[in-house]
Amino acid sequence: MSNAKKKPPIRTKTPRTLMMRARASLIGVTVSTLAHWENDGCNIEDDDSVKAHVAKLTRHPKTINPEYLTPPEELEETPDMAHLKTQLLRTTDGKVAQRLATQIKGLADAEKLEILQSKFISIDEYQTANTRLGSTLKAALNKAQVDLPVMLYGRSQHEMQIAIRTYMDKLLETLSDKESELWSPK
């Protein structure tokens, strides 16, 4: 037995291997990445198919040739829920079904969030409205403090009750009129 190291067998370069290396070099990815894309259903020999596949990726390889990247303005609009559900029912591929299910869930969550945002007002709007209401009520009470003593001077108790009730009714009517001077900012 000799202690000489054996040389590894020389691999023959098949046309497929040569094509994969050439395409990987042209696109700017590794042969392994290209093989994964092919397993995902991408026709790696067709530039349009590769560009469409790259557009679907969430993370792009750092070394990818920029001509294979789709500009953001050319990306498709987000498909609607019915379209995604139809695709989900028609697919037989597990990975595609999982991706579609994730997209459907994301759209449903986005719709729920949009509905919730439309139902609630911001804290700033709430605080502003309460501050304005408080200021308006304070102005109305200050006005009553000035007007009532003059109106009530020299009247009997019964006449005072009627005068106060009438004044308060007018004040409430003024408060309910949003265009009155009490609501105008000073």
Q: Is 106 inside a domain boundary?
A: yes
Q: Is 6 inside a domain boundary?
A: no
Which CB contacts under 8 angstroms, 24+ apart, belong to 128-132? 132/183, 132/185
Q: Is 91 inside a domain boundary?
A: yes
Identify the pLDDT of residue 161.
92
Q: Is 92 inside a domain boundary?
A: yes
- What is the full per-residue pLDDT of the chain (186 aa) written as tens digits? 556 677 777 777 788 888 889 998 998 999 899 888 888 888 889 888 888 888 887 777 888 888 887 765 554 555 677 777 777 788 888 888 888 888 888 888 888 887 777 777 778 888 888 888 888 888 888 888 888 888 888 989 999 999 999 988 888 887 787 676 655 655
Same domain, 91 and 44: no
Cβ neighbour number for residue 1 with a 10 Å cutoff: 3
Q: Is 151 exposed, middle or buried (0-12, 13-18, 19+ CB in 10 A)?
A: middle
Q: Is 181 inside a domain boundary?
A: no
Which range marks the domain in which residue 97 is found? Answer: 81-119
Identify the pLDDT of residue 75.
46
Using alpha carbons, select from 90, 125, 85, 131 the residue that is nearest to residue 108: 85
DSSP codes joined into one string, 41-55: T--TT-HHHHHHHHH
Rounded CA separation 138/161 (Å): 22
What is the DSSP-derived secondary structure letter of residue 177? Answer: -
Identify the pLDDT of residue 184.
61
Residue 1 identity:
M
- Number of domains within the chain: 3
pTM reported for the whole predicted model:
0.36
